[in-house]
Amino acid sequence: MKTDILIIGSGCSGLYCALHLPEEKQITVITKSDLESSDSFLAQGGMCMLKDDFDYNSYFEDTMRAGHYKNDEKSVEIMIRSSRDIVDDLLGYGVDFQREEDGTLAFTREGAHSEQRILFHEDITGKEITSKLLKQVKNRKNITLMEYTTMLDILCKDNCCYGAVVRHKDGKLENVLSDYTILATGGIGGLYLHSTNFRHLTGDSIAIAIKHHIALKDINYVQIHPTTLYTEQNEERSFLISESVRGEGAKLYDIHMNRFVNELLPRDVVTDAIHQQMQKDHSDYVWEDLRSIPEDELKMHFPNIVEHCEAMGYDVTKECIPVVPAQHYFMGGIAVDHQSRTSMEHLYAVGETACNGVHGQNRLASNSLLESLVFAKRAAFEIKNTYCPIEQLQEDNTNLEHYQDSEKLAEEYRNLVLGEIEKREAEHLSA
């Protein structure tokens, strides 16, 4: 199989990148599960936007402070300055952000933000954005979408990528040849017992990067979200209670109903405080109280949270809910430059699987959707402006026998990723 550009992943970064690539090029997007099972669809809180130049310094500082000043300052600047352009694109695609009564865009605030600068659509902003991108992609005749197609490896020679080895839904193995390959495979939550991520997101791109000596960056920077709904049942995913809930006034209490932390501090600080309080109280959870939010606002802004909690037996308008931290986001990843290029020629990485340093050691709430879109668009423009076909792209004779045992390969990749994270974390602590 041959294609001009191969995109691996159907989240917001992969889809948005596809929409900005040349329409005369044949683009193939593959995804490990169905088209809607990406973490982009799960994002609740919203997406940041620079409202005006007066907020730039504050937004920049909030991002840097949350990231413990380990951020790449140029990446942060690019993300913030590009935000209005991204919003204009999304509005053009029909994304329905919340509006004020006068028709202007409405903004909310989340933890560690000093201003209200977050656009939202109820508490399903990610679904609203990604579904509209998917609709646009489906209308493009030059883009082919392939579900239940798993990348097993990349094809490369002399530090140049020319495609990927994939497994189709029926188990058939195939080499897909391409001039450019874009990794948009999402996070690593599937490697953890408790995570807000889909279970099939297991850091495959990171494992493949390790295997082929592609540069990585900050892969020990793994974010834990402080508030997911605690249940005694073993759910497939931890249900996230959005940062926006605390931004709108929700409070955190220990099991004795005493406040123990400023709820608007950065996520990692709140997470540490919760873990310490749970250890002190010998408890498996703490309480989150949404009753301080007016009931009509609660049901309008957070309908899905209200509905899910109700299904689990909690009336958030009358009682507190038990919450516990869970793995949520991956700030590290495959090292990329400001155009999303990896250290391997003709190979790009975007979204959560990439690391341009924008988040530093801890991601500021609602920067993930924005960052993914900004640098996906920059990747598309870089490919468009420098497009250079790989000469003599022809049938690849890679031996596919190694990829036959899917369970063995998955375990191999899992051990590669977790082992490298553990190694980098040990180096970080000893530095």
Q: Which residues are catalytic?
A: 267
Outline where DSSP puts E strands in 218-309: 222-229, 251-253, 286-289
The owner of tokens 């507190």 is 320
151, 166 contact by CB (below 8 A):
yes
Contacts by residues 235-238 (CB-CB < 8 Å, ≥ 24 positions apart):
236/199, 237/42, 237/195, 237/196, 237/197, 237/198, 237/199, 238/194, 238/195, 238/196, 238/324, 238/326
For 47, the enclosing helix (H) or strand (E) is: strand 47-48
**CB within 8 Å of 106: residues ≥ 6 apart:** 97, 98, 99, 100, 119, 120
- Token couple for 187: 């996070």
How far is the C-alpha of 358 from the C-alpha of 276, rounded, in Å?
28
How far is the C-alpha of 147 from the C-alpha of 170, rounded, in Å?
11
Phi, psi of 9 (to 5 degrees): 125, 140
Q: Which stretches within 235-266 are classed as H helix?
A: 243-247
How far is the C-alpha of 334 from the C-alpha of 154, rounded, in Å?
14
171, 405 contact by CB (below 8 A):
no
- Token couple for 43: 């994002």
Phi, psi of 120 (to 5 degrees): -155, 160
380, 341 contact by CB (below 8 A):
no
CA 300, 301, 302 angle in degrees (round to 5)? 100
Phi, psi of 164 (to 5 degrees): -150, 155
CB atoms within 10 A of CB 322: 18
- β-pairing, 347-349 with 354-355? unpaired
Please tell me whether residue 59 adopts helix, strand or coil conformation: helix
